[in-house]
Amino acid sequence: MNTNSVRAKEFNFDGLVGPTHNYAGLSVGNVASQVNQGNVSNPKKAAKQGLRKMLTLHELGLAQAVLPPQERPSIKLLSQCGFSGSDSQIIKKAANAASELFHAACSASSMWTANAATVSPSADTVDGKVHFTPANLVSKLHRSIEDETTTRVLKSIFTAADKFTIHPPLPHHQSMGDEGAANHTRFCPGYASTGLEFFVYGQHYFNKSAVKPERYPARQTLEASQAIIRSHQLKSNSCLLTQQNPKVIDQGVFHNDVIAVGNLNVLFYHQHAFVNEQEVRNSISNFFNDHRFYFIRVDDNQVSIDDAVKSYLFNSQIVCLNQDALRTNSREETSMALVLPGECEENQSVWRYLQELKAADNPIDTLIVKDLRESMANGGGPACLRLRVVLTDEESAAINSNVIINKNLFERLDQWVDKHYRDRIDVHSLADPQLLVESRTALDELTVILNLGSIYPFQR
C-alpha cells in the first residue's frame, strides 16, 4: 500500500456526563475528588458544559464524537455484593447499610473517557486494523465496573470487523492495572503516518525492588502496558515505555495526562513528569529523525506541581487547527490550540506561563478556555473527557455516524439533558429510587438518538 495516499484524521470521542454526576470523593490520589467530597453537584450543568466543549471543537473543524454515560446506580454491583429484592429495595438497603459501596455504584466516572480504552491506529499495527482495549480500571471499585458496558459501546460504534478489533479488558488483577489512554500518547509526523505510541506506567508490579509511589497507588502497571503492546500487534519501532515519576504521583498526579500531554510532533510536559526525562527525549528524537519535534518543558520555577494539579494545565487538549493539511503524511507545519479549563486562567502563575508559551517558537499559538467547573471539581479536565481515535477516511466511513457531533446533534442532546437531568444532586438524592427510573428513561432514549442498540443491563 502506498501510505502517502492514505488520508486520516483524529476524532475526539468525549464522554457525556451522566445523570448521577456527584461528589462522593471516591478517587484516592485525585486531589480535586477528595477536596470536594460531599459538595452538591449539578448534573445538568455538567453535561451542558461538556457538550459546549464538544461543539467548540466541531466548530473549529475537528472531528468530534460523543460516548454515552453508563447506567447508575449499578444494580448489578449491589446485587453481586449481597443486596436483594426489587431495584428500589436494593438501593434503599445498600444506601443504609453500606454507604461506601453504594456511592461506588452511583459514580458517573465513565464521563472521563480518556480512561475508557487504549487505541492504536491502523498505521501502527501489523494487521492494519484499529485496535481497542477497554481499560479494566481495577485500582478503584467505582471505575472497575465500567469496562463491560464500555466494550458494548465500542462494539456498537466500531462495527466493521475487517477494520476494527475490540479486545477484552485485561485480567482484573492489580498486576494488570490499566487506566487507558490517560497514560498513553501517540506522536507522529502526520495522522496517516506510523506513529510512536508512548506508554507511561506508574510501577513495575512484579519487580518489588523497583521504585514506586509511597503515598498513593500507581494505577498503571508496566505489565499492563506490555500486554496491550502485544495484543495490539504494534510494530517493533512504534513503542516507547517509560515510568512516571513516583514523587509526582504522591503529589496528586494520578495519571500521566495530569503532568504531560502530546500531539503529533509536540510533547508538553513538566520537568518532573518522568523518571528518566533524557531517555524519553532521546527515544522520541531518534524516532522522528529528520522531522522537527518540539519538547515543551515546563520547569518547576515556572509552574509548580501544586499549581499544575490545581489548574490541570497538562490536562488540556492540544488540537490541530489546520486539519486538512494533516490528513496525509505531509510535513507541513501545523497551528495548534490548547483547550484549557477556566482554572488555568484563574491561576496567576499558570496564566503568566501560558502567555509566554503562546509567544514562543512552537506550534501552540492559540488558547481556548472552557468552563468545565463541574467536571474539574471531581478531578477531570478537558483531556480526561475525551478519547482520541485516529481513523483513515475508509475507517471513518465504517463507524456509526450517529455519534458524530454536529450542530443538529448538539441541539438534540442539549434538549435531551434539559428534559431528563436534575440540577442538584446531594448524598441523599442518590438514595432516591426515582433517580434510577429517571436515568434509565434518559438512557433508553439516548440509545435511540445515537443508534447504539441495547448496550445497558436494564435493556437486556
Would you please indicate which residues are annotated as catalytic (active-site) residues? Answer: 179, 255, 384
Secondary structure element (H or E) that encloses residue 318, with its range: strand 317-320
C-alpha cell at 91: 438501593
What's the Cα-to-Cα distance from 345 to each of 247, 297, 353, 367, 411, rounded to whole Å? 26, 20, 10, 10, 28
Strand partners of residue 388: 12
Distances, alpha carbon 457 to alpha carbons 18, 77, 84, 133, 192, in Å:
16, 11, 16, 21, 37
Q: Nearest-CA neighbor of 112 among 138, 132, 135?
A: 135
Q: In this structure, are residues 91 and 72 in contact, taking their beta carbons and an 8 Å threshold?
A: no
Residue 303, judged by CB atoms within 10 A of its CB (0-12, 13-18, 19+), counts as buried
Rounded to the nearest 10 degrees, the angle between the axes of helix 433-449 and helix 87-97 is: 120
- The H or E element containing residue 374 is helix 373-376
SS3 (DSSP) at 195? coil
Neighbours of 328 (CB within 10 A): 18
DSSP 270: E
Contact 341, 370 (CB under 8 A): yes
| Burial of 360 per CB tally in 10 Å (0-12, 13-18, 19+) | exposed
Beta-carbon count within 10 A of 77 CB:
20
In whole angstroms, give the CA distance from residue 312 to residue 43: 21
CB atoms closer than 10 angstroms to residue 426: 12
